[in-house]
Amino acid sequence: MRILKRAGLALGAMALLAVTTAGTASAAPSSFDVVVKHSSGVIVGRLTGNIAWSSSGRTVMLTNQYLSVKSGECVEGAFAGWQGNTVVAGPATLAKQCASTPVNDVSLGTTVEGGIHQANIQLIDYVHRNKGSVACRRTASVCTP
């Protein structure tokens, strides 16, 4: 009976470890949504897309991006990969855009051990310089402003 009890405890511990590990690996957000507004609250631009980390964490891909821009306005953008307080990938930029359009895929890559822990995506109102941004952490399920 003791042997079965020990075996059961060992199997339970392994199952808990497997669930915990799987939860961490799948926690990374799969999409992002960045909005930049005028000081009045009117939306100037919005960038949406998908985000995916490589298994090593050394590459982050931003795909299926679409930029919506309010008529008569222009925005630009920036993408960077961070580890702690250090930029380890990018920045990559999105040149001035004055119309709604699909945006090319962006790949952020690094050779730094441990890879990219966070991808920051920023939109900037080209004229008024207001900024909107999100931080997408590999260990979180959603990107946050």
How many structural domains is the chain composed of?
1
Q: Which of 75, 70, 67, 78 is nearest to 102 (CA)?
A: 67
CATH number of domain containing 78:
2.60.40
Domain span at 90: 29-137
SS3 assignment, position 90: strand
> Above 60 in pLDDT, residue 20?
no
Cα separation, 76 vs 20, in Å, equals 39
In a domain, 23, yes or no: no
In a domain, 122, yes or no: yes
In a domain, 79, yes or no: yes
- Burial (Cβ within 10 Å: 0-12, 13-18, ≥19) of residue 65: buried
Which residue has 């891909």 as its token pair? 61
DSSP 8: H
Cα separation, 121 vs 138, in Å, equals 14
| Percentage of residues of the chain with pLDDT beyond 90 | 80
| Percentage of residues of the chain with pLDDT beyond 70 | 82
In a domain, 145, yes or no: no
In a domain, 70, yes or no: yes
**Mean pLDDT computed over every residue of the chain:** 87
In a domain, 84, yes or no: yes
In a domain, 11, yes or no: no
In a domain, 49, yes or no: yes
